Structure 1
Amino acid sequence: MTRIVAGESAVPKRKRAIEAALAIGLVFLIAAGAVVASSISRNTAAEASIPAPTPAAELKLGYFGNLTHAPALVGVKQGILARNLGNTKLSTETFNAGPAAIEALNAGAIDAAYIGPNPAINSFVKSEGESVSVIAGAAAGGAQLVVRPEITSAADLKGKTLASPQLGGTQDVALRAWLGSQGYETNVDGSGDVAINPTENAQTLKLFQDGKLDGAWLPEPWASRLVLQAGAKVLVDEKDLWDGSLSGKAGEFPTTILIVNKKFAAAHPDTVRALLRGHVESVAWLNDAPVAEKSSVINDALQESAGAALPADVLDRALQNVVFTVDPLAGTYPKLLEDGVKAGTTKQADITGLFDLRALNEVTGTAERVSAAGLGQD
């Protein structure tokens, strides 16, 4: 009989235990690898299912039949916007004032719009930053308070009736803010020390001619039309209220800007860049074209969009009051917001994120970038 010496079987037993543990570990590693591979496969499939941004089949653009919207008027009339959009179809719709255009933009009826800054601010605030982005400036200046000749100072306005294009619009807010600075109370229902009746521009001209309005705060060319066609006088030129401390340019304040629906921009960034290329080209054309050619093209565009061309003297006066620029003058927006709050047409809010000027600066390619003044990306 063979004797088994104590301790002789310990080594083989430990060896077998180690081999078993290694085998079990290998099984776990293989299983874990399968799980990781499956997860990677699922993630890759999910990423592949997210469509890459593509040019839009159609861009629906809104603007007004006003001289302050000349980049849109010229861009459409001269085919500049359509050419830059390439295979993307350009559809257009004209509006009388900003709040109506904002409603259409938020409802998806249009994708981008030339508009005044206050309706854009109001939309951004109401949507908590989800609705629109300001992507460029279009025009600065070109807004005046024009009144009956017998009105010679702010003191003469008590009890009078004035008009603005639309409640909450840029000129409406400017009028209410200025009246407040003169010690007058105004209310959005038309009551107060001075009555403000939001009225379509063409109707304002007629009501003023009929003696049913004492004045109006209007953009061009309507301010010039009341002066030259209805005998009004300028009581306040808005450029005199801006000393340049906010915009860096004395006398300049944003009248018209270009905005885009944020969802559309996220889905079609190439289309937004194409729109901006056309916009920049249109602004450059307005600043470089001979006066006679510029006036002719603008008048033809106004005939198509607003139903009437302008007399030469009206167009000449109006053009002298407007600066065409791609800079939205972002530094003025905190004051514009404050004015809207005081006017009762918007609420106090943080408007950081309102601007996205990255594509504009990419398109212009200039050394001096257009600034978002800390209120977005540039």
Structure 2
Amino acid sequence: MRSLPLRRLGNLAAVAIVAAATLGTAAACGGDERAGTASDPVTLRLGYFPNITHAPALVGVEKGIFAEKLGSGVKLETKTFNAGPEAIEAVFSGALDATYIGPNPTVNAHSKSKGEAVRVVSGAASGGVALVVKPGITSAEGLRGKKIATPQLGNTQDVAIRFWLKEKGLTTTKEGGGDVSIVPQANSQTLETFRSGAIDGAWVPEPFVSQLVNAGGKVLVDERDLWPGGKFVITNLIVSTKFLKEHPDTVRKLVEGQVAANDFVNQKPDEAQQAISDHIGRLTGKPLDLKLIKQAWSTLEFTDDPIASSLKTGLDHAVAVGLTEPVDLAGLYDLSFLNEALKAQGETEVPLP
């Protein structure tokens, strides 16, 4: 259980009967160890990125879907990140309880903690990633001597391009050397550096793919073309194992919110796109152009299935390019709450990986 402030401990000691009653209520409800109430809520700190690939998170927050599912007994605090590794750092430091994130940082968290730190509790999205380059580049060989941006060293797109280049016989290094120089940088910088000529292309998620295309770039690789059936996990939802053990009912409600948010995104795309634009505007001070969102929309599939097989393949790719060691993925997935929520909605349950 998370440590309580000294003032709160003092209050609990002084009013032991009230504390006992509160714990008794939690036990009677079969929920969290310390069930949240309107006056003393559980705090859930949720991370996500201001990317269209995180549409369920953006819509879930903007439309109040998470807040509704979590109820008055849970205080939702949200934090945004540029890429997965920094979100994982926040989980490890205890600053984050759950986050939408890509597969490679998920694996890294599982590996570094020897399988103890996180659990995947739902999928969120597939697709929406491409390599966009200057018009004169027409092949992998044309990238020799060029600079290509990725969101962060070791993130999902960083692994993807390094492995793709390796398959094409081109080398990269963590330091930016090799046949092709990989330049990790914040997605928000990529459009400017592409326009200025500081980079020759980027392997990035939407909406940055569409932004680069509209700035004169062309798609050299649509990542969907590299996966069976065009399906691969780009975003899944993970929770801290510690938080899951201490507050299982809160996690159950969060997963119910994820399923409801994905249903909204799929059933009301126009309204969802407007919510994404509005929410990114609240985060950045400038709403994302609706035309850009619509342009990117067809490249994405929003699914609660975490497509576990693609995560395993992504791990193999990361090992092949020297960004991680082989990892036993046993215990990474806990889809029990997801399948409960899907069953309740009359939707198809996800087979355990």
Q: Same fold (TM over 0.5)?
A: yes
Give the structure 2 partner of residue 215 of structure 1: 201
Aligned length: 316
How do 1:112-261 residues align onto structure 2 when only pairs under 5 Å count? 112-228=98-214, 230-243=215-228, 250-261=229-240
Contact 1:136 1:259 in 2 (8 A): yes
The unaligned stretches of length 5 or more in structure 1 are 1-47, 244-249, 374-378
Alignment correspondent of 2:284: 306
Q: Is the aligned partner of 1:67 residue 2:52?
A: yes
Assess, with a 3 A threshold, how the Cα gap between structure 1 residues 306 and 326 changes in structure 2: closer, same or farther: farther
1:54–1:270: 8 Å Cα contact kept in structure 2? no
Alignment RMSD (CA, Å): 1.4
1:165-209 per-position Cα deviation (integer Å, ceiling 9, x unaligned): 001111111111111110111111111110001000111110001
Alignment TM-score, normalising by the size of structure 2 = 0.87
Q: Matches of 2:348 and 2:188 in 1, distance apart?
A: 40
Task: Decide which structure has the larger Cα Rg and report it.
Answer: 1
Partner of 2:348: 368
The alpha-carbon deviation at position 53 of structure 1 amounts to 2.5
Instruction: Note the C-alpha offset of 1:293.
Output: 2.0
Which residue is 2:9 aligned to?
none
Distance 1:68 1:55, change over 3 A: farther
Conserved 8 A contact 1:242-1:253:
yes
Name 1:16's counterpart in structure 2: none
Residues in 1 aligned to 2:116 and 2:235: alpha-carbon distance in whole angstroms: 21
- State the TM-score, normalizing by the size of structure 1: 0.81
| Distance in 1 between residues matched to 2:239 and 2:271, nearest whole Å | 30
Q: Distance in 1 between matches of 2:286 and 2:321?
A: 33
Which of 299, 302, 310 is equivalent to 1:321?
A: 299
* Aligned counterpart, 1:269: 248
The corresponding residue for 1:297 is 275
State the AA in 2 paired with 1:308.
Answer: K
Identity %: 49
**TM-aligned CA distance change 1:84 to 1:152, over 3 Å:** same
Matched to 1:368, the amino acid is T
Shift of 1:307: 3.2
| Distance of 1:329 and 1:308 partners within structure 2 | 33
Gaps of 5+ in 2: 1-23, 37-41
Q: Secondary structure at the match of 1:356?
A: coil
**Which residue identity does 1:267 align to in structure 2?**
E
CA deviations on 1:84-123 (whole Å, 9 max, x unpaired) are: 1111000000000000000001111010000001000011
Q: Displacement of 1:292 after TM fit?
A: 3.0
Equivalent-residue separation in structure 1 for 2:34 and 2:333 (angstroms):
22
**Contact 1:160-1:195 at 8 Å conserved across structures:** yes
Question: How far apart, in 2, do the equivalents of 1:368 and 1:295 lie?
Answer: 25
